[in-house]
Structure 1
Amino acid sequence: MRSFIRSAGIRGFRSVVEAHQGDAALLAERYGVGIEALDSDDVLVSDAAMGRLLEGAARELPCPDLGLQMALHQDIGILGPLAIAVQNAPTVGGALECASQFLFVHSPVLSFSIVADPEGRHGEVGLRYGSADGGVPPRQGSDVGLAFVHRMLRFLVGGPYGLHSVHLPHRPLAPSSRYTAFFGAEARFQQESALLRVPRSLLDRPLTGVDEALREIALTYLQARFPEPGRTLAPQVRVAIDRSLGSAPARIESTGRLLGMHPRTVQRKLAAEGTSFGILLDDARRESALRLITRTDLPFVQIAALVGLSEQSALTRCARRWFGATPRTVRAQGSAADPEAGAP
């Protein structure tokens, strides 16, 4: 079965390619990545297609340090809701453990973990980035992933964090000095895995400006929406539904094609996760309808179309079931409670 990564993982691709006088859209099409993924963080992209795109672009431009250059366009925000929980952890170690626990929200095929120092030094640990199955991502994928972890750590502590050395599983794609300059530490190649070697004491370093209440809200959301790493199909289906609302009928058949699964397989896996396509579709319509009713002045007939309902009367029936009131009443109540409701 194919696995998918949020397109946030290729943020910066268009900018880097265009800086090298390349055509990002043409490259994406050539390697099987939808053009819409170049300008959105939440498109699901096949991990295999993403790997081919990065390797192919690096070769064709040529831009051997493509992954490092892309990382300069990425910040902690590419993790979506996980970013809030990470940056509001009490310590660096807590932030890294949170990232390790919930990275599957960003991609079920990637992993991040704190491991023993590969050189056996007790005062150091390794921060390992790789494939969830224990394998190694493609070369450019390893570069951009580890470079992002490095930049995330600098962001969390506000500067250098004591990096001792960088391990990469491949030969240098660009001159080794390029890696040394980027990471500010010795880069070692053809190693067993991609990791950053850091002082063990870094894990106990407290983070500043932490909002514990905000962290709890983010964790509650993650735990409710993404209960466990093995249950990753429902969020992928939900993302597919969210992106199709208002532009194409949200059907299990089209979602199955996107995920590379037969519709019956989608049904079976969702049932094992305690949900169904219908429940996810209804949830998506409810959330979208509430936002459009209370935060815009759009006619109800247009809102019905935007959430994939056939007519305004269908929206009225759904609103009574969802909110216990008609769309008109919901809008009036929302406007009274929120002075910004109705703004575009």
Structure 2
Amino acid sequence: MKPLVRNAALSSYIELSQSLGIDPRALMKQVGLDPVGLAVQDRWIPGAAVAELLELSAAAARREDFGLLLAERRRFSNLGPISLVLREEPDARSAVRLLVRQERMYNEMLRSRLTEANGLATLKVSLALGEVREARQSVELAVGVLHGFLGVFLGARWQPLSVCFSHGAPHDMAAHRRFFGPVVEFDQEFNGIVFYATELDTPNTMSDPLLRGYARQYFDSLAVSEDTTELDRVRELIEVLLPTGRCSIEQVAGSLGVDRRTVHRHLATSGETFSSLVNATRTELAEQLVANPSRSLTEIAGLLGFSAPSAFSRWFRDQFGSSAREWRALRSDPGPVPN
């Protein structure tokens, strides 16, 4: 299966794109992603599509530092639920090791590794995209986010010994030097950050020892509940692909890096078919969308992947026993006011 990442990987993408004068909606649709879906930070989307989007955006904006500009806008909370646990770790070493060990909770294509030798600590980063693809912007985003993560624990004035990239230097290094300082290097053997190992002993000033046990218990329960199954993966991709009008089993299989028969086989073990899962997903989304009076029924038809409003109307009546307009009116009517 091809790796997935949380929507949070594109946190602030729309704002950054607009500030640089490029159209984020058009670029996202080009790679099969839905801008509206970014509102749900914990939804999973194809990692390769994110990597392609960042490269297209960098080219459109003529900014070789696009990934780094995105990293500058990241916040600690963008890591998702795991950030609550990391905040209570006793020191920087414990926090980094936990982040590396549980990276699949927030990004399945990220491969990071912490090593310590000869007084130095090296945090290496690589990406497993599941296919051959340019990923300069994604690499710089990942390294930039990890640099910012270390800064949270080591202080705003902290600076590593070296920040390394295996790709070549950009024409303008101003953003890289502003972000990393004068220690950034290109054409190196790996992507990552080198710093003194003793810095990992820095106590975590955010940590509350009384809360640490509760945070760990929460994390353990969360890790089990977020154990993503193949059915979950397919359902997530259906939600992502419906608004694009390209929600087919071939498209889902391609995003997962398998053939359509493999998808059919995985769904069959759960007693589902692709059609039944699409219908169930549409039904669940329709209840949420139609209940919102600020959305037009034509817009909802598009978000649910129908080629025309009339097709949506027929489907809705079959599923709910009334027209979408009647169903909405019943939900919005508070009923008679008692005397």
Structure 1 length normalisation: TM-score?
Answer: 0.67
Match of residue 127 from structure 1: 123
Question: What corresponds to 2:169 in structure 1?
Answer: 172
Structure 2: 5+ residue runs without aligned partners? 242-247, 289-318, 321-339
CA–CA separation in structure 2 for the residues paired with 1:65 and 1:108: 23
Matching residue's letter, 1:125: A
Identity %: 24
1:238 and 1:81 map into 2 onto residues whose CA distance is: 21
Query: Do the aligned partners of 1:54 and 1:140 also contact (CA within 8 Å) in 2?
Result: yes
Which amino acid is 2:25 matched to? Answer: A
Alignment check: 8 A CA contact 2:121 2:197 kept: yes
Q: Deviations over 1:228-278 (max 9, x none)?
A: xxx76465356558889xxxxxx999976864656763575589xxx9477
- Please state how far the C-alpha of 1:150 moved relative to its aligned partner: 1.1
Cα distance in 2 for residues equivalent to 1:270 and 1:102: 27
CA contact (8 A) 2:45 2:237 kept: no
Q: Which residue number corresponds to residue 218 of structure 1? A: 218
Give the direction of change, closer, same or farther, for the CA distance of 1:99–1:137 in structure 2 (3 Å limit): farther
Alpha-carbon shift at residue 91 of structure 1 (Å): 1.4
Cα gap change, 1:175/1:22 in structure 2, threshold over 3 Å: closer, same or farther?
same
- 2:92 is matched by which residue type in structure 1? V
Distance in 2 between residues matched to 1:182 and 1:138, nearest whole Å? 20
CA RMSD, Structure 1 to Structure 2 (Å): 3.9
1:115 equivalent to 2:78? Answer: no
What is the match of residue 7 of structure 1? 7
Q: 3-state DSSP class of the match of 1:170? A: coil
Q: Aligned to 1:115, what secondary structure does the other structure show? A: strand
- Read off the aligned partner of 1:127 and give its amino acid letter: L
Give the unaligned 5+ runs of structure 1.
Answer: 245-250, 293-309, 312-344
Inter-partner Cα distance in structure 1 for 2:271 and 2:160: 46
Alignment map for 1:127-276 (pairs within 5 Å): 127-132=123-128, 138-210=135-207, 211-226=211-226, 233=230, 236-237=233-234, 239=236, 259=256, 265-266=262-263, 276=270
CA–CA distance in structure 2, aligned partners of residues 124 and 102 of structure 1:
23
- Taking structure 2 as the reference length, the TM-score comes to 0.67
* Aligned pairs for 1:37-116 within 5 A: 37-116=37-116
Aligned to 2:298: none
Aligned-pair CA distance for 1:226: 4.6
Contact 2:162–2:194 under 8 Å retained in 1: yes
**How far apart, in 1, do the equivalents of 2:24 and 2:219 lie?**
36
- Provide the secondary structure at the position in 1 that maps to 2:22: coil
SS in 1 for 2:49: helix
- 2:17–2:23 Cα contact (<8 Å) kept: yes
Give CA deviations for 1:21-75 in whole Å, capped at 9, x if unaligned.
Answer: 1111011112332223444423433222211111111112112211111112211
Structure showing greater relative contact order (alpha-carbon pairs closer than 8 Å, 6 or more residues apart): 2
Aligned equivalents of 1:252, 1:25: Cα separation in 2: 24
Find the aligned partners of 1:206 and 1:239 in 2 and give their Cα distance: 39
8 Å Cα contact 1:6-1:107 kept in structure 2: yes
